[in-house]
Amino acid sequence: MAKDFKEKIITVNLTKAFDKPVTKRAKSALYILKKGITKETRIDSIKISNKVNEFLWEKGLFKSKRKITVKLVKNKEGIDVYLPDEKVIIKTETKKKKEPQTKQEQVKAKLEELQKQKGSKKEEKKAEAVKEETKTEPAKKEDAPKVEETKEAPVDNKKE
């Protein structure tokens, strides 16, 4: 069946674009290309590379190409369309940290990282302080000098 392929090279005839008005030929050539690929593969989701698009629009809006040969590469989502001599880069899905786009997002991300680091340092310092207090408190009680209790004689406030 037409769906069972990984790569395929086809030639699409674009002469039907010349039945359209002069101002719509390149647009209709792109439409005819998509329609021809759908007819060949029976898959609707099509992504056309920039080089194919530039090839179609090379002569401008009024004078489009008559034929185009393209390479079809099947993906999970649908089909990618390339020129036959164009290098195909297959992207593998890897989960990466989303890099902030604007400067404000970059500053916020840095602040969050610093707060996490400071938070962990503060927690470490608190834990160390608690450990030191538990170690030093009994030692302080034992090492502290003993104060002798002295009993003073009661003072009479009576006038003699």
Q: Average model confidence (pLDDT) for the chain? A: 78
Q: Read off the pTM.
A: 0.54
> pLDDT by residue (tens digit) across 20-58?
999 989 999 999 999 999 999 898 899 999 999 999 998
Q: Evaluate if residue 136 carries a pLDDT over 80.
A: no
Q: Look at residue 104 in the predicted model and tell me its pLDDT.
A: 75
Is the CB of residue 56 less than 8 Å from the CB of residue 64?
Answer: yes
Q: Look at residue 89 in the predicted model and tell me its pLDDT.
A: 72
Q: Look at residue 97 in the predicted model and tell me its pLDDT.
A: 65
> pLDDT by residue (tens digit) across 94-118?
666 666 567 778 777 777 777 777 6
The SS3 assignment for 19 reads helix
Q: Evaluate if residue 13 carries a pLDDT over 50.
A: yes
